[in-house]
Amino acid sequence: MKIATAQQMGELDAYTLREEQISSIDLIERAAAAIAREIISRWDIAVPIVVFAGPGNNGGDALAVARLLIQSGYDVATYLINPSGKLSADCAINKKRLSDLAEVKFTEINTQFEPPVLTEQTIVVDGLFGTGLHNVLSGGFAALVKFINASPAQVVSIDMPSGLMAEDNSANVRAHIIRANYTFTFQLPKLSLLLADTQCFVGELKVLDIGLSASAIEAMETKYEMVNEDFIHTLLKSRDNFGHKGTFGHALLVSGKFGMAGAAILGAKSCLRCGAGKVTIHTPHLNNDILQIAVPEAVVSHDKHPEKITQAIPSDSFDALAIGPGIGTDGETALAFIEQVRHAKVPLLIDADGLNILAAHKGWLQQVPKQSIFTPHPLEMRRMGIRSETSFSTLDEALEMAARYQIYIILKGHHTAVCTPEGKAYFNTTGNDGMATAGSGDVLTGIILSFLAQQYAPLHACLLGVFLHGRAGDYAAMSQSQETMIASDIIDNLYKAFNSLKSIRADRRIIKPETISLKQ
């Protein structure tokens, strides 16, 4: 699913109006109906609802929602905040339509405002501003936002939490942004609804289809997309019925100084669980016994040093290489690392201490083979030179770095973003907070390494790996809880994640047979 900018949403609206030969008020009615249906499906008719509408088209949406809810029997009090005395044409139309209802509770605020009492039972519908907002809220609007945020009411935001810009909020005032419990956005997600430092304003996000032009959306070019299972299942290859372990790839994992064998165990297990035919772990000799016992299916290659990685090994006989988890940043290890990376002849993934070594030797980035994959968390990104304070700027710099070095950067987080050499970002839609636990990144490394060894293209390996990692984590959270989850639980639930994708693929392949006539 494409992620649209505010400008693109305006263009989509305009294109749809031309294509369907309808007016903008008709489109507002369509959007309002979608919001009203969502509210009706979630809350009983006895729940008191307070609607705050702004003077623009988002306010027009809110006024239409209020009317539809009243007509459905809800008790709705509506406040139109209009300090300038000017309304958009569609907002004015919906003001009249609402005012024409019998015994409607409607107040237009031009100067002083005595706010209503908002209780825990109240549902606030926030329709002050949408994607058209380009300036920080101030004055009375900012005061109203603070009042709503301080209340115990549940808040439903129409399209965007008021005060939140659709993309860059680096200059915004956080206290002047609605903290919604639910955000029902129209047709396509917007970037700021997915970023880490603006998640606190969004709450539960749902994208509502309001029938904007499908052809225009398909033709629309965007560098941001969301990845869901409807797309991901198409990337999963069928297994060769006549295959053997050599068919499914030989992966090399360079991991685990002495005392960090757990990183190697988690990476190797997840790699094998995702279909790799064979895994070799290159690690210090003192890790031998624990690895042989914990992962008997893996081959162990011993470094000449008993406690740390000090040598590179030829990669020619392998199908993919991952290096970094738990190797440390010792001087000898750093030299062995860059030698291994420089001479890599196969698809390469660098994680954890591998990234920390590159951060300490930034000139070595030039020696990383093109199409390699980096899997940093935010702190590792900062160590590598990205100093941005906001998620938007961090993403922007990561995209620039991916394009400059022609690599893939997987920005790990709630909506993990896969940044490509072409300058695109794909946001993941699986995973949960329980995955914020030690070793979770090592599991992801092993999963992606497995797909690389099985000859998946780097982009497909990244997208599949991130999605299945998160989906397995979601299954783990269901059977455990987010608080009790550990990284091994993700591995234990990988089979469920695979089966969920295979079931979708099987459903898509069902062909309804044609009617067979038995007439002579």
- pLDDT, one tens digit per residue, over 403-442 is 999 999 999 998 999 999 999 999 999 999 999 999 999 9
Residue-wise burial string across 411-450, b where 16 or more C-beta atoms lie within 10 A, e elsewhere:
bbbbbbbbbbbeebbbbbbbbeebbebebbbbbbbbbbbb
* Coarse DSSP helix, strand, coil percentages of the chain, rounded to the nearest 5 percent: 45, 15, 40
Task: Give me the residue spans of the domains in the chain.
Answer: 6-222, 232-507
Q: How far apart are the first and last CA of the chain?
A: 50
Cβ neighbours of 509 (radius 10 Å): 7
Pick the CATH number of 6-222 from 3.40.50.10260, 3.30.420.40, 3.40.50.300, 1.10.600.10: 3.40.50.10260
Q: What topology is assigned to 232-507 in CATH? A: UDP-N-acetylmuramoyl-L-alanine:D-glutamate ligase (3.40.1190)
Alpha carbon distance 200, 58 (integer Å) = 21
CA atoms within 13 A on the CB side of 294: 18
pLDDT at 515: 40
Mean per-residue pLDDT for 177-195?
Answer: 97
pLDDT (tens digit, 9 = 90+) per residue, 2-37?
999 999 999 999 999 999 999 999 999 999 999 999
pLDDT in tens, 114-138: 899 999 999 999 999 999 999 999 9
pLDDT digits (tens, 9 = 90+) for 336-359: 999 999 999 999 999 999 999 999
Tokens of 78: 């509506």
Counting residues of the chain whose pLDDT is more than 70, the rounded percentage is 97
